[in-house]
A and B are shown apart, each in its own frame.
Chain A
């Protein structure tokens, strides 16, 4: 009987299948239920919410199909579907029977599901830049501004979704490979630059120059954070070829010596004037001191200085020792305050250097590193030279030894180019471009095996924790075939974490998990909030430093939920009411922040023994929910959004990602005209069934955080209508929320939720894939075997890197 029914349903399914209507693989326990209760709205005729169930693939080991069926189970379990208005409703029995079939199938699928499945992917922007900087020891390489962004909003930039290789990307790779080759093996006929400037034209931006009487000469101030006053000609000169530029200056010093007792001298700082989206101050932070020259007193004389500059760079010149570094205004000031302070500095009587004329000519020679690397210039070109100098570069680029065939092909091609062009420089230039355009360099983990090879594992580990290529030690272990041994892998993970390069992990993981990248670029309505670049810098750094403390001190991961410390820089402390006003005494600021000439670094604030008169809201800022950066990314810079905040909390602390809004409901088309505040607006939203399903889960967390404004400041009432803030909310299960504290309590009471969430994020970032159904079961095991007191961060990272998820391709 049973068999026959099975056959009959098989026939039925096959028939439909031939008509192209139904996937043959849904079991009849499922189809009987869905045919009766679902397909009217989610079948061939109608697809409400753009969801169709009868053709939904029954492939529960596949995460995409699995997620959809989990959604179905969820809807049916919570009796959201069929909706109240539907004509037919299943009995409790048939509902239960349906859910049992699904649950059994899930369990079965979990046993069968494979771990792994990361697809081959190219290096992302950061990995690419770090890797070429490390291979070639270059201080400045940038991708062209046209280079597409990697990340998609929902995923890490280490995952394949954002890492497609479009023609624009390939062209970018080709151009940047050329510019690297230009620096490392300059072509013989490079463009040259020659110019002669008189007082009036030196210094670029007219508003920022400082002249002597009758504009006879230009006076220098010193190195300062804004670099706005002094001699600056980034807008006049940009090197078209890397090399030594000979700068001749008609100048004289006003005194024998400067603040440090040495002769007054000029310093040349090279930097890239075009770096994207960086305010000038950031640029200076990245400036490199490349040359200095002493200036004699007396009549103006011609002095000469050789300045090494990279293609695309320009330089600033300052009088290095007019003042001691303590005397300059530092980052605690806003822009107009800085200008004012600088003007005061200018008018002080300390002697400086006067400049009348300036000539720039070059390049007169290749950059020093070229001579260092090749021994002489032009370089030799023969097999031995290529084996000793080019092969190490190739092995770094490929992150593995080359095969014999690869070596032969590479050497033959380079030698051939040397012969054809008759110039050894051409051959080296070609070799570098060729390596950097190769898929062996651009792609990682290109192999077809269940478990990663040792070399691919070395790459995966180093890109995870350093965002750059593996070092010799990792490659040696890979060569010995021992890297994947659990003990070795754990020790290496520990080693990589203690290396300064792990700063990259802190930066890019917090940049994405905790939203720092968004904070770095968000536009904040600055006449509404106290906001400037110092505050922004504080937001970004306080999140990083918080994460770093948990990492370096190996604190329990529960610290992310609640902590007895936080970080804030001076600008944030002013906004938070911890300081009455900004400390504008130059000396005092400088003394406190000598470490950072440019930006005010956050300091650690103990919440258990706080400084006197610390406002109550600051005391309640433990964990990531108190970090203003996190609270800022969930708004638009003008107003906070309880929905975005709710989604953020749900996704990044609870590890649940609500599905995107259904396509047939325009996000803004809800009639909220009667609603007077955000709470009522959301309530109006929840009246629509399609919206309610998700907003019930999302909104409570956002509403509980309403005491924080769009930039994470504390408020007791709304800015617009002064109505008081109500931070209470009810979760779907009836739990009452009131303020951030209640979210912390919920999470701390169920530590496995956050453990799973963070572990999943770490693995997704590190292994570069959305976790498969099989991966998730491995995660379950790691979560279940958590120590009594919960994981500490380093231990959780080691648990991740030594897991089957990380080791699987």
Chain B
């Protein structure tokens, strides 16, 4: 296994913000708010996830990275959906309900993402087995994530010139294309009944919407991409097989940090997919598949192996947070304090296929971090709904919203 030069970039000193060129003076005053929603499809080993355990092995990476005081783990949360076996329900993590509906990141993207090249980006650490990414649009449609670090790299730093010319042609000709087909639709609409004319309104408004999207892409086409970080390099050969999940996940965390630093995007989701196969950790192939390990039956050796995978997920997140903590934002604050990081899994306990009481971690974002909060009926915070936490996040991100999906209240009193 080649060691990626990325490591050097990670050890790099405090990076200066490279973003100001695209912002006007007014926005310089206030740092932009950002959101990262991450999650696994195979749960987390809860005894080591919650920071209430002083020796929690999944929290250790954050302490090592020096961001242990910038997080809160929350136990006892739930969406109150039906329980049962169902990997297909893992997408409910950020939608807050079982009916397919908009996810938290997509809800905030139109507002937080106005001034950036991308309104939001959806990432996945390599191949997915299920089409169950964390981001769903306002129709409840899962948004396909980017699974290749090289594609994400091109999004952040621009593709080759060839690709640019092609894009230019497509976008320019797209305008007259949409004009022509709109004219087609006007003629067609004269041939149909009045009720059908109303139905065709869908076509007109959808075409207008696509035109606006193309226009946004055209607007950004001429604006130069940020220069790639000289210390960051993609591996020579890209491999998105399940076995390479951790390596790809690391790259995705790092690319997200870079995208935030050059202000290409402010809203992200990162799906850590279910992998049947054995992962390569460090340089060696693990003895059993990730999926298999998540069904550990409390066998110690299996739990330990599972923890080593989950700690690797957390190491990526911790490095990401550290990197943002070391970066000064436009208003002089630390980037981490303006970036809310959520990490969880709607599969609360993969070993039992349980979906209640699922683990969630909130980091960064400038909250009054508590290390750990216990929710649920028998604890001091009676709220049971994960969406209560999301309402607090929404308010912190500047949304005047009192409710989201299945929320009943909020956690403002504890976290704000």
Binding site for B on A (CB under 8 A): 119-121, 144-146, 148-149, 160, 164-171, 174, 178, 187, 189-192, 195, 197, 201, 204-207, 235-236, 273, 276-277, 409, 413, 417, 421, 426, 430, 433-434, 437-440, 442-443, 446-448, 521, 523, 525, 636-638
Query: 8 Å CB contacts to A: which residues of B177-209?
Result: 177-178, 180-181, 184-185, 188, 191-193, 195-196, 199-200, 202-203, 205-207, 209
Is the pair A439, B203 in contact by a Cβ cutoff of 8 Å?
Answer: yes
| A438 adjacent to B181 (CB under 8 Å) | yes
Task: Report how far A149 CA is from B185 CA in the complex, Å.
Answer: 24
Given A119-B195, A171-B210, A439-B185, decide whether A165 and B203 contact each other with a Cβ distance below 8 A.
Answer: yes
A-B contact pairs, 29 of them (CB 8 A): A119-B193, A119-B199, A120-B199, A146-B144, A148-B139, A164-B202, A166-B139, A170-B207, A170-B210, A174-B210, A178-B170, A187-B166, A189-B162, A191-B166, A192-B162, A201-B237, A204-B239, A204-B241, A235-B241, A417-B176, A430-B177, A433-B177, A434-B181, A438-B184, A439-B181, A443-B188, A443-B200, A446-B188, A448-B192
Not counting A205-B242, A235-B126, a sample of 11 additional A-B residue pairs whose C-beta atoms are within 8 angstroms of each other reads A145-B142, A160-B199, A165-B202, A168-B139, A170-B203, A178-B170, A195-B237, A433-B173, A434-B180, A446-B188, A447-B192
- The 8 Å CB contact of B280, one of A145, A149, A192, A206, is A206
Give the interface centre of B177, B178, B181 by most chain A CB atoms within 10 Å: B181
Interface size class of B (residues with CB under 8 A): 35 or more
Given contacts A168-B141, A446-B191, A446-B192, contact A523 B86 (CB under 8 A): yes
- State A442–B242 Cα separation when bound (angstroms): 38
Residues of A within 8 A of B137 (CB): 146, 168
For the complex formed, measure the closest distance between the CB of A34 and the CB atoms of chain B, giving whole angstroms.
30
Give the residue name and chain of the A residue nearest to B190 (CB).
Answer: A448
The reply to whether the CB of B99 lies closer than 8 angstroms to some CB of chain A is: no
Q: A523 vs B347: C-alpha distance in the bound complex, in angstroms?
A: 15
Tell whether A169 pairs with B206 under 8 Å between CB atoms, given A201-B237, A439-B200, A446-B192.
yes
A165-B203, A433-B177 known; A276-B192 Cβ under 8 A: no
B211 nearest CB across to chain A (Å): 10
In the complex formed, the residue of B with least CB distance to A171 is B210
| Candidates A160, A167, A192; contact of B205 at CB < 8 Å | A167
Most buried by B among A168, A276, A637: A168
Question: Which residues of the other chain, B, contact A442 by a CB distance below 8 angstroms?
Answer: 203
Does residue B254 face the partner (Cβ distance < 8 Å to A)?
no
Q: Is B32 an interface residue (CB 8 A)?
A: no
Q: Is the CB of A426 within 8 A of B243?
A: no
Contact with A along B154-176 (1 / 0, CB 8 A): 00000110110110011001101
Contacts of A166 in B (CB 8 A): 139, 202, 206
Contact assessment for A430 and B241 in the assembled complex, using a CB-CB cutoff below 8 Å: no
Q: What mask results when residues 121 to 152 of chain B are scored 1 for a CB within 8 Å of chain A, else 0?
A: 00000110011000001010111100000000
Chain B residues closer than 8 Å to A121, beta-carbon distance: 199
Assembly CA distance A572 to B237 (angstroms): 43
Interface residues of A, dominant DSSP:
loop
> Which residue of the partner chain A has the closest CB to B143?
A146
Which residue in B85, B159, B160, B203 is a CB contact (below 8 Å) of A523? B85
On chain A, the residues within 8 Å of B240 by CB distance are: 235
Closest residue on chain A to residue B193 by CB atoms? A448
Q: At the interface, yes or no: B87 with Cβ under 8 Å from chain A?
A: yes
Docked complex Cα distance between A521 and B207 (Å) = 32
Residue-wise, chain B 251-290 has the 8 Å CB interface mask toward A (1 for contact) of: 0000000000000000000000000011010000100000
The interface bits of chain B over 349-364 (1 if a CB of A lies within 8 angstroms of the residue's CB, else 0) are 0000000000000000
Q: Which of chain B's residues has its CB closest to A413's CB? A: B180
Residues of chain A within 8 A (CB-CB) of B193 are 119, 448
CA distance A148 to B196 in the complex (A): 22
B162 in contact with A120 (CB, 8 Å): no
On whether the beta carbons of A191 and B277 are closer than 8 Å, the reply is no
Chain B facing A: main interface SS: helix
Q: Is the CB of B141 within 8 A of A146?
A: yes
Asked whether B184 lies within 8 Å of A439 as measured between CB atoms, the reply is: yes
Q: Using Cβ atoms and an 8 Å threshold, which residues of chain B touch A636?
A: 84
Interface centre among B86, B159, B178, B239 (most CB of A within 10 A): B239
Smallest Cβ distance from A105 to chain B, in angstroms? 25
Q: Are B181 and A235 in contact (CB under 8 A)?
A: no
Q: Does B244 contact A (CB under 8 A)?
A: yes
Q: B239 to A146, Cβ gap below 8 A? A: no
Given known A-B contacts A170-B209, A438-B181, A439-B200, A187 and B131 have beta carbons under 8 A apart: no
Alpha-carbon distance A277/B127, docked complex (angstroms): 11
In the complex, the answer to whether A638 meets B84 with C-beta atoms within 8 Å is yes
User: Which residues of A sit under 8 angstroms from B162, Cβ to Cβ?
Assistant: 189-192
In the complex, chain A residues whose CB is within 8 Å of the CB of B192: 120, 446-448
Assuming the A-B contacts A236-B238, A446-B192, A448-B193, are A426 and B206 also in contact, with contact meaning beta carbons closer than 8 angstroms in the complex?
Answer: no
Residues of A within 8 A of B159 (CB): 191
B88 an interface residue at 8 Å Cβ cutoff? yes
Find out whether the CB atom of A417 lies under 8 angstroms from the CB atom of B173: yes
Residues A170 and B206 in contact, CB atoms below 8 Å apart:
yes
- For the complex of A and B, list the 9 residue pairs with the smallest distance between their C-beta atoms, beginning with the closest: A167-B209, A170-B206, A145-B144, A235-B241, A205-B241, A165-B202, A120-B196, A439-B185, A448-B193
Which interface residue of A168, A174, A189, A409 has the most chain B CB atoms within 10 A? A174
Bound CA–CA A168/B278 (angstroms): 36
Is the CB–CB distance between A439 and B188 below 8 Å?
A: yes
User: B213 interface residue, CB < 8 Å from A?
Assistant: yes
Query: Which A residues touch B207, using CB under 8 A?
Result: 170
Residues in A whose Cβ lies below 8 Å from that of B163? 191
**How far apart are the CA atoms of A145 and B132 in the complex, in Å?**
11
B177 near A437 with CB under 8 A, answer yes
Question: What B residues does A201 contact at CB under 8 A?
Answer: 237, 239
Structural contact, B166 and A145, CB atoms closer than 8 A:
no
Interface 1/0s, chain B 101-120, versus A by CB < 8 A? 00000000000000000000
Contacts of A205 in B (CB 8 A): 239, 241-244, 277
Q: Do residues A165 and B206 form an inter-chain contact, with CB atoms below 8 A?
A: yes
Q: What distance in Å separates the Cβ of B353 from its nearest Cβ neighbour in chain A?
A: 8
Q: How far is the CB of B209 from chain A (nearest CB, A)?
A: 4
Residues in A with CB closer than 8 Å to B181 are 434, 437-439
Contact present for B213 and A448 (CB under 8 Å): no
A207 vs B144: C-alpha distance in the bound complex, in angstroms? 27
- Whether A120 lies near B200 (C-beta < 8 A) is yes
Residues of B within 8 A of A197 (CB): 237
Using Cβ atoms and an 8 Å threshold, which residues of chain A touch B173?
417, 421, 426, 430, 433
Q: Inside 8 A of B185's CB, which chain A residues have their CB?
A: 439
Q: Which of B86, B137, B173, B280 has the most CB of A within 10 A?
A: B173
Given contacts A167-B209, A168-B141, A207 and B277 within 8 Å (CB-CB):
yes
- Measured in the bound complex, the distance between the Cα atoms of B237 and A195 in whole Å is 8
Given A446-B192, A637-B85, are A171 and B280 also a contact pair (CB < 8 Å)?
no
A57–B357 CA distance with the chains assembled, in angstroms: 48
Beta-carbon contact of B130 and A277 below 8 Å: yes
B residues near A120, Cβ cutoff 8 Å:
192, 196, 199-200
Please, how many angstroms separate the alpha-carbon atoms of A195 and B169 in the complex?
27
A145 to B130 alpha-carbon distance, docked (Å):
11
State how many angstroms separate the Cβ of B320 from the closest Cβ of chain A.
24
A197 to B170, CA, bound (A): 33
- With both chains docked as a complex, state the minimum distance between the C-beta of B137 and any C-beta of chain A, in angstroms: 6
- Are B210 and A167 touching (Cβ within 8 A)? yes
Cα separation A466 to B202 with both chains bound (whole Å)? 27
Alpha-carbon distance A706/B365, docked complex (angstroms): 53
Are the CB atoms of B196 and A207 closer together than 8 Å?
no
Nearest chain-B residue to A195 (Cβ)? B237
Report the separation of the CA atoms of residues A39 and B254 in the bound assembly, to the nearest whole angstrom.
65
Looking at A146, A189, A235, A277, the one whose CB has the most chain B CB atoms below 10 A away is: A235
The answer on a CB contact under 8 Å between B174 and A277 is no
Of B165, B191, B202, which contacts A189 at CB under 8 A? B165
Which chain A positions have C-beta within 8 A of B85? 523, 525, 637-638
Report Cα–Cα, A110/B404, bound state, in Å.
48
Residues from chain B with a CB closer than 8 A to the CB of A119 are: 193, 195-196, 199
